[in-house]
Amino acid sequence: MTSPQIIEAQGATAHTDTGRGVRRFTKAQWIDLGVLLALLVIALLGFYAPFGSWMFLLSAGGGLLIGGGAALFAYRFRLNVLNSVLVAIAGYFIFGTLFALTGQGFLAVLPTLQTLWALARGAVFSWRDSVTISTPIESPDYMGVMPYMAAIIACFISWLLALRWLPHHRSSSLRAAVAALPALVVLLATLLVGTPQPFFGLVRGILFAVLAIVWLGWRRGLDNVASAEARKGLERRRLTGTAILVGAAVAVTGILGFVTNPAIDGNRFVLREELTPPFDPYNYESPLAGFREYTKLLNDTTLFTVNGLQQGDKIRLAALDDYSGKKWQAPSPSDAGADSGAYSLVGRDVPRNDFITASQTRDIEVYINGYNDIWLPSIGSATSLDLTQGALAPRRSELRFNGKTGTGVLTGGLREGDSYRVSAQLQNVPLEGQLDNVPVADLELPEAEPAPAALVEAMQKFTAEETSPYLQLRAIEEAIKAQGYLSHGTASDQAPSRAGHGLDRMQELFDLTYMIGDQEQYASAMALMARELGYPSRVVVGFAPKSVTGASTEIRGSDVTAWVEVPFEGFGWVAFDPTPDQTDAPVNTSEQPQTKPRAQVRQPPQTEAQPDELITAADRPADDPQEDRGDWPLWAIVLVISLAVPIVLYCLPLLIFWLLRARRRRIRRSGSSDQQVAGAWDETIDRLAELGYAIPERETRPVVAKSLHPELVPVAHMADRAVFGGEELPETEAAAVWEESQRIIRQAGLDAKPWRRQLAKFRVNRRSGGIAGEIRRTREGRMTPERAELRNRVLRSRGADLPDYEAVARVEGVSPVAVPVQPGGVAPYEEPTGEERQ
């Protein structure tokens, strides 16, 4: 088989409606593209508000380049819609590392399996995370995909509409407005995912509206204006109207914006403020409930090592302000008070706590050893968290931080070998008498269950002589430390101490002759006493190393502690540590009879806790997917994902195109035998077109067959016979034609270049109409008398018997030609002579 005539580019056609080749661009089209690009730039500038810097311009500009380039390429080479979309998707992944994930690829710009996976994740999760992550957005790394993808999609759609749709409807302002719709969607999206203070929102809105209105008005051409003088007059009136419109729009919107902007700022709708963050700490066990795990099971275990600590510093794990009657816990977002804060996705710079008085800062580095919980060991009120070291670098998207409490979590849990850095401010310790007359801050925290009677009575006794909030709290702290005994309930402790801090345990703590417990019970008791006094309070769980020596400090399970924090106006959260130091508790702790009556208080709920029970903070919810992750090593997961993503991206479109071609072939092989023969011709021509063959237009089937390859001529003759013969062909002939058609297609594929064979797999050509429809039209009306007479005249001029010939006609009423049918097959085709055509 000789080399096929393959066109220079896939599906290439000329700019005209009937020619072939590549399209050219007109001046009007370039103007449309320029205006749409300007509208997109105005809209994309809104991403400055959530990102807080100009770094997003690289990804947004790259997206405009890729989206616009894909639209121009698809238009110039006449790609269908499906192939045009595939070009844009390919550009998204090929250049995404360069523009959206700068510095993360091979040689900083070339894509790798990791960056391709990040681009795939960013396309799905960046929009969701953009409304839950705190601003400015700096991480996860895939967040840069958001402006990149928005620019690609908007520019690709608007430019493709401007190139393919608008030239046929130059006078339609409504259709032009549809082409500008993607830019408007991006403008609204930047306002929704932005902050309450948008980036020059009023100015950008004015520019966008004025430019769009002027463009829509000037798109109507002046071709219908007869004289040059009338044309100039119309142009002058347009210029005047445009100037008036621009001036009026600027003046009116500027004045209205200045007047209404204060009211709008207070009531602006921002999506990130309306959505509930996806992380819910209520689904995880409270670290205070697992307090005894550290004191009993991990007492001598090195949990993590901290560099940069100073003597007296405490490590924070979690701040718990919701008391259910059974335990203190971090509240669910739906139950949290306005001042409880929320755990949201953050970048390196975390939300700062403004309710703090700090004169010291700390920069620490944490190295994880035996600690494996989700709560992130930190210090003070963190201002930045750098997770770029070790295995935590690709897990940045798991970080959630609560700026109100100064605590964070890693949803996948910390593991041995993880390390990170923390920069933080330390709350000042009040001086003697500094807060004696300072009121407690009025903060909104979740309501706590009423305290048991014994605790209320003890609180009233401890605070009887004090009126100042600060002095009342100090009195409670000192009384508990003086009267209580420290016991973790281990074998080395003198007296037993039951775990837990529910209402029943709080009742028991004050019912016994001696108060015996550890930080879990004492911190919970003091926090409940503060709540009974009407003061907002919370329990903080963390670690207090007994000594800090050198640059590195090992934190063990025995260093676990808990304390209480209460907020004071103009100062911040003040820590109170009610845990006693004395451990020589008396053995006799039997309950003594009470002689004085007690106020009636609702009885606390009973729990089934046993004296030596352990509630571990490492427990996960039953449906936590992290439990299954241990079966696969990390390298295997990365390898599988890296291989699966490109395979799916290649095989899924391939499967879709294969199904479309299979459906097309199945339809063409159904019906009567003559329809099947006609379908074989259509299938052959479509498959050759998909391989890049240039298919002549407005020619007879034999002419088309000869121009492609002589082996196709018999198939063309049989198709003509099926269309115009007026009789149904045998099934064996239809099967033979299909077999010959498939053989020609296979041979054409072997003769084509390998890259064209690959492109053909992702193309589905469809001949408009098809000749199966011609069969139906011919059978319904048979032949008109004029057409039948013309056919017979041609046949007789060649001296043939009418039963031995079939008429062959051109598609739009062109004169028919005769094809003699021989016993051995179809005779070679001959064009009709001039006399025959007359």
Looking at the predicted structure, is the pLDDT value of residue 505 above 50?
Answer: yes
Least confident of 677-681, 683-687, 832-836: 832-836
8 Å CB contact between 531 and 451: yes
Confidence category of residue 246, pLDDT binned at 50, 70, 90: low
Looking at the predicted structure, is the pLDDT value of residue 836 above 60?
Answer: no
Q: Which of 560, 584, 564 is nearest to 477 (CA)?
A: 564
Give the residue ranges of DSSP H helices in 268-348. 271-274, 291-292
Measured CA to CA, the distance from residue 67 to residue 469 in angstroms comes to 63
DSSP 825: E
Residues in the chain: 838
Largest CA distance in the chain: 135
Q: Which of 306, 343, 531 is nearest to 422 (CA)?
A: 306
What token pair was written down for 559? 């260093």
* 813 or 506, greater pLDDT: 506
What token pair was written down for 251? 């003046």
Measured CA to CA, the distance from residue 675 to residue 669 in angstroms comes to 8
| Mean pLDDT value across residues 386-413 | 82
Query: What is the reported pLDDT for 258?
Result: 53
The tens digit of pLDDT for each residue in 648-684 reads 777 877 888 888 888 888 888 887 887 888 888 888 8
3-state secondary structure of 52: coil
Least confident of 159-168, 439-448, 521-530: 159-168
Using CB atoms within 10 Å of the CB of residue 292, give its burial: 0 to 12 exposed, 13 to 18 middle, 19+ buried. buried
8 Å CB contact between 495 and 589: yes
Measured CA to CA, the distance from residue 318 to residue 404 in angstroms comes to 11
DSSP 601-651: -PPPPP----TT----TT---TT-GGGGGGGS-HHHHHHHHHHHHHHHHHH
Least confident of 437-441, 476-480, 819-823: 819-823
Percent of the chain's residues with pLDDT above 70: 71
Q: Which of 118, 232, 131, 221 is nearest to 176 (CA)?
A: 221
Using CB atoms within 10 Å of the CB of residue 200, give its burial: 0 to 12 exposed, 13 to 18 middle, 19+ buried. middle
Confidence category of residue 827, pLDDT binned at 50, 70, 90: very low
Measured CA to CA, the distance from residue 81 to residue 652 in angstroms comes to 17
Query: What is the reported pLDDT for 534?
Result: 93
8 Å CB contact between 94 and 183: no
Least confident of 445-459, 649-663, 794-808: 794-808
The tens digit of pLDDT for each residue in 189-236 reads 887 776 666 777 777 887 888 888 778 777 665 444 445 666 666 667
| Mean pLDDT value across residues 117-125 | 83
* 298 or 396, greater pLDDT: 298
3-state secondary structure of 176: helix
> Are β-strands 515-517 and 484-486 bridged in parallel, bridged antiparallel, or unpaired?
parallel
Looking at the predicted structure, is the pLDDT value of residue 725 above 50?
Answer: yes
Measured CA to CA, the distance from residue 422 to residue 221 in angstroms comes to 63
* 379 or 805, greater pLDDT: 379
Q: How far is CA 321 from the centre of its chain?
A: 32
Query: What is the reported pLDDT for 251?
Result: 67
| Mean pLDDT value across residues 376-385 | 90
Give the residue ranges of DSSP H helices in 194-227. 201-218
Confidence category of residue 563, pLDDT binned at 50, 70, 90: very high
| Mean pLDDT value across residues 543-548 | 90
The tens digit of pLDDT for each residue in 161-196 reads 888 877 765 556 677 788 888 998 898 888 777 666
| Mean pLDDT value across residues 781-794 | 50
Query: What is the reported pLDDT for 133?
Result: 66
Print the SS3 string covering 469-492. HHHHHHHHHHHHHHHEEECCCCCC
DSSP 512: B
Measured CA to CA, the distance from residue 255 to residue 251 in angstroms comes to 6
| Mean pLDDT value across residues 245-258 | 62
Using CB atoms within 10 Å of the CB of residue 55, give its burial: 0 to 12 exposed, 13 to 18 middle, 19+ buried. middle
Measured CA to CA, the distance from residue 617 to residue 501 in angstroms comes to 14
Q: Which of 390, 382, 303 is nearest to 346 (CA)?
A: 382
Query: What is the reported pLDDT for 790?
Result: 53
The tens digit of pLDDT for each residue in 265-297 reads 444 555 555 554 557 787 888 899 989 999 989
Query: What is the reported pLDDT for 824?
Result: 35
Measured CA to CA, the distance from residue 491 to residue 534 in angstroms comes to 39
What token pair was written down for 758? 């690959």
| Mean pLDDT value across residues 232-259 | 64
* 130 or 744, greater pLDDT: 744
| Residues 6+ away with beta carbon under 8 Å from 318 | 281, 286, 287, 288, 330, 375, 405, 407, 540, 541
* 229 or 585, greater pLDDT: 585
Least confident of 114-118, 618-622, 675-679, 732-736: 618-622
Q: What is the pTM of this model?
A: 0.50
Mean model confidence pLDDT for the chain: 76
End-to-end CA distance of the chain: 37
Looking at the predicted structure, is the pLDDT value of residue 629 above 60?
Answer: no
